[in-house]
Amino acid sequence: MGRETPKQQQQVSYTVEQLVAVNPYNPDIVPDLENYVNEQVSSQTYSLDANLCLLRLYQFEPERMSTQIVARILIKALMAMPAPDFSLCLFLIPERVQMEEQFKTLIVLSHYLETGRFRQFWDEAAKSRHIVEAVPGFEQAIQTYAIHVLSLTYQKIPRPVLAEAINIEGLSLDKFLEHQAANSGWILEKGHVRGQLIVLPRNEFNHPELKKSATDTVPLEHVTRIFPILG
Protein backbone atom coordinates (compact mmCIF):
# COMPACT_ATOMS: atom_id res chain seq x y z
CA MET A 1 0.00 0.00 0.00
CA GLY A 2 2.90 2.34 -0.70
CA ARG A 3 5.08 2.30 2.41
CA GLU A 4 8.69 3.47 2.44
CA THR A 5 10.11 4.27 -0.97
CA PRO A 6 13.40 6.02 -0.24
CA LYS A 7 15.05 4.93 -3.48
CA GLN A 8 12.73 7.00 -5.61
CA GLN A 9 13.40 10.15 -3.65
CA GLN A 10 16.07 12.76 -3.93
CA GLN A 11 19.21 13.03 -1.85
CA VAL A 12 17.57 15.22 0.81
CA SER A 13 14.89 12.72 1.82
CA TYR A 14 17.35 9.85 2.09
CA THR A 15 19.09 11.88 4.77
CA VAL A 16 15.78 12.34 6.57
CA GLU A 17 15.30 8.59 6.76
CA GLN A 18 18.77 8.35 8.24
CA LEU A 19 17.94 11.03 10.81
CA VAL A 20 14.89 9.11 11.89
CA ALA A 21 16.89 5.93 12.24
CA VAL A 22 19.92 7.38 14.00
CA ASN A 23 18.86 10.53 15.86
CA PRO A 24 15.09 10.55 16.26
CA TYR A 25 14.82 12.12 19.73
CA ASN A 26 16.07 15.49 18.64
CA PRO A 27 13.88 18.62 18.47
CA ASP A 28 16.12 20.15 15.79
CA ILE A 29 14.92 17.78 13.10
CA VAL A 30 11.31 19.00 13.23
CA PRO A 31 11.70 21.31 10.20
CA ASP A 32 13.30 18.51 8.17
CA LEU A 33 10.48 16.14 9.06
CA GLU A 34 7.85 18.75 8.20
CA ASN A 35 9.44 19.33 4.80
CA TYR A 36 9.53 15.58 4.33
CA VAL A 37 5.77 15.38 4.89
CA ASN A 38 5.19 17.98 2.19
CA GLU A 39 7.54 16.08 -0.06
CA GLN A 40 5.64 12.83 0.52
CA VAL A 41 2.47 14.66 -0.50
CA SER A 42 3.87 16.17 -3.68
CA SER A 43 5.84 13.16 -4.85
CA GLN A 44 3.21 10.60 -3.84
CA THR A 45 5.54 8.66 -1.56
CA TYR A 46 5.05 7.66 2.07
CA SER A 47 7.03 7.03 5.23
CA LEU A 48 5.15 6.02 8.37
CA ASP A 49 8.27 5.96 10.57
CA ALA A 50 9.24 9.53 9.71
CA ASN A 51 5.71 10.77 10.28
CA LEU A 52 5.42 8.99 13.64
CA CYS A 53 8.75 10.54 14.60
CA LEU A 54 7.36 14.01 13.86
CA LEU A 55 4.12 13.35 15.75
CA ARG A 56 6.19 12.23 18.74
CA LEU A 57 8.24 15.43 18.66
CA TYR A 58 5.00 17.44 18.46
CA GLN A 59 3.88 15.49 21.53
CA PHE A 60 7.05 16.54 23.37
CA GLU A 61 6.61 20.21 22.40
CA PRO A 62 2.96 20.90 21.59
CA GLU A 63 3.59 24.60 20.83
CA ARG A 64 5.46 23.59 17.70
CA MET A 65 2.65 21.50 16.29
CA SER A 66 1.42 22.50 12.86
CA THR A 67 -2.16 21.28 12.41
CA GLN A 68 -1.81 21.54 8.66
CA ILE A 69 1.11 19.11 8.69
CA VAL A 70 -0.75 16.80 11.05
CA ALA A 71 -3.78 16.80 8.73
CA ARG A 72 -1.54 15.88 5.81
CA ILE A 73 0.03 13.05 7.81
CA LEU A 74 -3.43 11.72 8.64
CA ILE A 75 -4.56 11.83 5.02
CA LYS A 76 -1.44 9.95 3.93
CA ALA A 77 -2.12 7.41 6.69
CA LEU A 78 -5.67 6.98 5.45
CA MET A 79 -4.29 6.26 2.01
CA ALA A 80 -2.20 3.44 3.49
CA MET A 81 -5.25 1.37 4.39
CA PRO A 82 -5.78 -1.48 5.17
CA ALA A 83 -2.70 -0.86 7.32
CA PRO A 84 -3.75 0.63 10.69
CA ASP A 85 -1.52 3.69 10.22
CA PHE A 86 -4.38 6.14 10.78
CA SER A 87 -5.04 4.90 14.33
CA LEU A 88 -1.31 4.69 15.03
CA CYS A 89 -1.12 8.40 14.27
CA LEU A 90 -4.22 9.22 16.29
CA PHE A 91 -2.66 7.61 19.36
CA LEU A 92 -0.08 10.40 19.29
CA ILE A 93 -2.36 13.37 18.70
CA PRO A 94 -3.81 15.10 21.79
CA GLU A 95 -7.56 14.78 22.25
CA ARG A 96 -8.24 18.52 22.09
CA VAL A 97 -6.55 18.68 18.66
CA GLN A 98 -8.66 15.75 17.46
CA MET A 99 -11.75 17.78 18.37
CA GLU A 100 -10.97 20.37 15.68
CA GLU A 101 -13.30 20.36 12.69
CA GLN A 102 -10.88 19.12 10.03
CA PHE A 103 -9.73 16.26 12.24
CA LYS A 104 -13.25 15.27 13.14
CA THR A 105 -13.98 15.02 9.43
CA LEU A 106 -10.93 12.87 8.82
CA ILE A 107 -11.90 10.59 11.71
CA VAL A 108 -15.38 10.21 10.23
CA LEU A 109 -13.86 9.36 6.84
CA SER A 110 -11.63 6.77 8.47
CA HIS A 111 -14.61 5.33 10.32
CA TYR A 112 -16.56 4.87 7.10
CA LEU A 113 -13.63 3.08 5.47
CA GLU A 114 -12.98 0.89 8.50
CA THR A 115 -16.62 -0.23 8.52
CA GLY A 116 -17.01 -0.76 4.76
CA ARG A 117 -19.41 2.15 4.29
CA PHE A 118 -18.05 3.18 0.92
CA ARG A 119 -21.04 5.16 -0.30
CA GLN A 120 -21.09 7.27 2.86
CA PHE A 121 -17.33 7.74 2.53
CA TRP A 122 -17.48 9.10 -1.01
CA ASP A 123 -20.41 11.36 -0.10
CA GLU A 124 -18.52 12.82 2.84
CA ALA A 125 -15.29 13.11 0.83
CA ALA A 126 -17.19 15.06 -1.83
CA LYS A 127 -18.29 17.52 0.85
CA SER A 128 -14.71 17.96 2.04
CA ARG A 129 -12.96 18.33 -1.27
CA HIS A 130 -10.63 21.01 0.07
CA ILE A 131 -9.23 18.53 2.58
CA VAL A 132 -8.80 15.57 0.31
CA GLU A 133 -7.77 17.42 -2.82
CA ALA A 134 -4.79 18.74 -0.91
CA VAL A 135 -3.11 15.36 -1.35
CA PRO A 136 -2.59 13.97 -4.86
CA GLY A 137 -3.29 10.28 -5.30
CA PHE A 138 -5.92 10.23 -2.58
CA GLU A 139 -8.74 8.97 -4.75
CA GLN A 140 -6.70 6.19 -6.32
CA ALA A 141 -5.38 5.04 -2.95
CA ILE A 142 -8.86 4.71 -1.51
CA GLN A 143 -10.07 2.92 -4.62
CA THR A 144 -7.18 0.49 -4.23
CA TYR A 145 -8.25 -0.14 -0.64
CA ALA A 146 -11.87 -0.63 -1.69
CA ILE A 147 -10.84 -3.17 -4.33
CA HIS A 148 -8.71 -4.90 -1.69
CA VAL A 149 -11.73 -5.34 0.58
CA LEU A 150 -13.90 -6.45 -2.35
CA SER A 151 -11.26 -9.01 -3.33
CA LEU A 152 -11.29 -10.46 0.18
CA THR A 153 -15.04 -10.76 0.04
CA TYR A 154 -16.30 -11.50 -3.45
CA GLN A 155 -15.62 -14.11 -6.07
CA LYS A 156 -18.15 -12.50 -8.38
CA ILE A 157 -19.36 -9.01 -7.69
CA PRO A 158 -22.38 -7.24 -9.21
CA ARG A 159 -21.48 -4.08 -11.12
CA PRO A 160 -23.53 -1.68 -8.94
CA VAL A 161 -21.76 -2.88 -5.78
CA LEU A 162 -18.37 -2.32 -7.35
CA ALA A 163 -19.38 1.06 -8.72
CA GLU A 164 -20.50 2.25 -5.31
CA ALA A 165 -17.36 1.04 -3.63
CA ILE A 166 -14.90 2.75 -5.97
CA ASN A 167 -17.10 5.73 -6.88
CA ILE A 168 -16.84 5.26 -10.62
CA GLU A 169 -19.89 4.97 -12.86
CA GLY A 170 -21.05 4.87 -16.48
CA LEU A 171 -18.49 5.17 -19.25
CA SER A 172 -15.62 5.79 -16.83
CA LEU A 173 -16.47 2.53 -15.14
CA ASP A 174 -16.52 0.73 -18.50
CA LYS A 175 -13.07 2.03 -19.28
CA PHE A 176 -11.86 1.13 -15.80
CA LEU A 177 -13.18 -2.41 -16.12
CA GLU A 178 -11.57 -2.85 -19.54
CA HIS A 179 -8.26 -1.75 -18.06
CA GLN A 180 -8.55 -4.15 -15.13
CA ALA A 181 -9.55 -6.98 -17.45
CA ALA A 182 -6.50 -6.37 -19.60
CA ASN A 183 -3.99 -5.90 -16.79
CA SER A 184 -5.25 -7.42 -13.54
CA GLY A 185 -7.02 -10.56 -14.58
CA TRP A 186 -10.57 -9.38 -14.04
CA ILE A 187 -13.20 -11.19 -16.05
CA LEU A 188 -16.39 -9.49 -17.13
CA GLU A 189 -19.44 -11.71 -17.27
CA LYS A 190 -22.74 -10.87 -18.79
CA GLY A 191 -25.08 -11.11 -15.84
CA HIS A 192 -28.52 -12.61 -16.05
CA VAL A 193 -31.21 -10.62 -14.35
CA ARG A 194 -29.10 -8.28 -12.31
CA GLY A 195 -26.73 -6.97 -14.93
CA GLN A 196 -23.00 -7.25 -15.31
CA LEU A 197 -20.96 -9.47 -13.00
CA ILE A 198 -17.27 -8.98 -12.46
CA VAL A 199 -15.14 -11.96 -11.61
CA LEU A 200 -12.30 -10.90 -9.38
CA PRO A 201 -8.90 -12.60 -9.39
CA ARG A 202 -8.62 -15.73 -7.28
CA ASN A 203 -6.79 -15.45 -3.98
CA GLU A 204 -6.74 -17.46 -0.77
CA PHE A 205 -9.29 -15.16 0.87
CA ASN A 206 -12.11 -15.38 -1.64
CA HIS A 207 -11.20 -18.92 -2.69
CA PRO A 208 -10.65 -20.92 0.49
CA GLU A 209 -9.40 -23.97 -1.38
CA LEU A 210 -6.31 -21.94 -2.29
CA LYS A 211 -5.40 -21.49 1.35
CA LYS A 212 -1.96 -22.92 2.03
CA SER A 213 -2.53 -25.04 5.05
CA ALA A 214 0.28 -25.62 7.51
CA THR A 215 -1.44 -28.91 8.12
CA ASP A 216 0.62 -31.81 9.07
CA THR A 217 4.01 -30.21 9.32
CA VAL A 218 5.99 -31.64 12.18
CA PRO A 219 8.76 -29.41 13.53
CA LEU A 220 12.24 -30.94 13.39
CA GLU A 221 12.73 -30.67 17.18
CA HIS A 222 9.84 -33.07 17.70
CA VAL A 223 11.24 -35.63 15.30
CA THR A 224 14.63 -35.49 17.03
CA ARG A 225 12.91 -36.96 20.07
CA ILE A 226 12.70 -40.33 18.36
CA PHE A 227 16.19 -40.38 16.86
CA PRO A 228 17.53 -42.53 19.74
CA ILE A 229 14.76 -45.02 19.07
CA LEU A 230 15.25 -45.11 15.35
CA GLY A 231 19.01 -45.24 15.67
By CB under 8 A, name the binding residues for another protein: 1, 3, 24-27, 48-49, 52-53, 55-56, 59-62, 82-84, 87-88, 90-92, 94-95, 111, 114-119, 149-150, 152-158, 161, 191, 194, 197, 204-208, 213, 215-218, 222-223, 225-226, 229
CB of 142 to another protein, least distance (A): 13
Backbone phi and psi for residue 187, each to the nearest 5 degrees, phi listed first: -120, 130
**73 or 150: whose CB is closer to another protein?**
150
d(CA 159, CA 225): 57
CB of 131 to another protein, least distance (A): 20
**131 or 150: whose CB is closer to another protein?**
150
Q: SS3 for 186?
A: coil
**67 or 87: whose CB is closer to another protein?**
87
141-161 burial by CB neighbour count: b if 16+ within 10 A, else e? bbbbbbbeebbeebeebebee
**108 or 173: whose CB is closer to another protein?**
108
CB of 208 to another protein, least distance (A): 4
CB of 133 to another protein, least distance (A): 26
For 148, residues 6+ apart whose C-beta sits below 8 A from its C-beta are 82
**130 or 222: whose CB is closer to another protein?**
222
**183 or 224: whose CB is closer to another protein?**
224
CA–CA distance from 186 to each of 6, 13, 173, 205 (Å)? 32, 37, 13, 16
CB of 154 to another protein, least distance (A): 5
5-44 burial by CB neighbour count: b if 16+ within 10 A, else e? eeeebeeebeebbebbeeebeeeebbebbbebbebbbeeb
CB of 145 to another protein, least distance (A): 9
